[in-house]
Amino acid sequence: MAPPKHVLALVLLLFSATDACHQPPKTLHIPVVHRNAVFPPPPDANRGSLVTNRRRFPAADTALMMSRLHSPVMSGLPFESGEYFASIGVGTPSTSTLLVIDTGSDLVWLQCKPCRHCYGQMSPFYDPRRSSTYRQIPCSSPQCPLLQGCDNSTGGCGYTMVYGDGSASSGNLATDRLVFSNDTSVYNITIGCGHDNEGLFDSSAGLLGVGRGAASFASQVAPSYGRYFAYCLGDRTSNARSSSSYLVFGRTPELPYTAFTPLLSNPRRRNLYYVNMAGFSVGGERVTAGFSNSSLSLDTASGRGGVVVDSGTSISRLPRDAYGALRDAFDARAAAAGMRRLAEDISVFDACYDMRGAAMASVPGIVLHFAGGADMALPPENYFIPEDSRNGRFYCLALEATDDGLSVLGNVQQQGFRVVLDVEKERVGFAPKAC
């Protein structure tokens, strides 16, 4: 993806969160089901390939701006998407929607009738005129002119989201009820009601922003559930009608083998979850040559660098020198194991192999190292993925180089790990095989 070229203009008008949750239960479950269980893929769907590889962060400048809530999550792969989705009801009566779970942005928004311009989505369009709990944030609000101002087409306070891949949504800000599993409801959640939307959202109705900013869903429910949530993204290729993926808000018992690393803050991008990646190992050996550890570090003065944990981006991105060092180390060990590298790239991947006649056990292991001694030992399916767009069994190293000063730990590499985002204790946890 090209570096972000647009600037996000985001109006975030939040009401008091003290009544955001109406009589919150001791546990609040947000079901997350596999996408196939709702919309089976076509018979000829290519299940092994990440056809799309989104960069879902808002444009760079925008980042300047107890009980439990648990939700099932579904993979977007059957729809040629690398993202995961939560099934959530909106309004009263509720309209079932599929929202991309995005730790890299804040606003909760969805496509709304009437549409000036809307892309195709798999779930019904939300019509705020039919919801008795929908409340548009008025232009008369004192905060509105201080932010983006009045949207004359809707008569309310407006918003515009522009993302790094050129996707966009604009409309008016409002509050409404969100409904999760077991008819558990959360009231007065600020949402963006998008009447003009375009881009690569892959049939979802919109985004469930769970970043660190004040407008995110995680922040809005924090008075009831705390500044703590966890998720687990299960097998993206599974056909199972039940899903092992989930999203849970509120502190839960921690698995004893969870490895924690400090959560860092970037004063220039306050809504993102930063961690300090200290390096990586390939084939059981630490890679030390060919790159500088400083390229992975966050420079808080300039706001550049650092590694962001992002559920809305599929493939992890590393600085070009770090990626090159990891790829070359992987390729050297793959060659020694008899794996034949292809001469050409496949899609966005530049290290692909013909695995016909080769054992998957020969694939070199990869471990990501984080500050504080936290390690992520990735299973092969988290970094060595099939590309079946051609005849044969071709697999690619599912990582990319980036030159824009921001590295990403994407959801393919997070697959199967319980990821804990503990803002209260300023730490991020990883627990393998925990879905």
Active site residues: 102, 310
CB of 175 within 8 A of CB of 190?
A: yes
Residue with tokens 């650092």: 306
Residue 8: closest CA among 51, 80, 50, 57? 57
d(CA 143, CA 137) in angstroms, rounded, equals 10
Alpha-carbon torsion 192, 196, 198, 203, what sign?
Answer: positive
339-342 own/partner pairs: CB under 8 Å, 24+ apart:
339/363, 342/394
CB of 315 within 8 A of CB of 398?
A: yes
Helix (H) or strand (E) holding 35: helix 35-38
d(CA 61, CA 49) in angstroms, rounded, equals 32
Please name the residues in contact with 124: beta carbons below 8 A apart, sequence gap of 6 or more: 95, 96, 97
d(CA 310, CA 315) in angstroms, rounded, equals 10
> Two tokens at 322?
């770090």
DSSP assignments along 250-268, one per residue: S--PPPTT-EEEEPEEETT
Beta carbons within 10 angstroms of residue 132's beta carbon: 9
CB of 70 within 8 A of CB of 247?
A: yes
Please name the residues in contact with 359: beta carbons below 8 A apart, sequence gap of 6 or more: none
Helix (H) or strand (E) holding 336: helix 320-336
355-371: b or e for each residue (b if 16 or more CB lie within 10 Å)?
Answer: beebeeeebbbbbbbbe
Burial class (CB in 10 A: 0-12, 13-18, 19+), 114: exposed
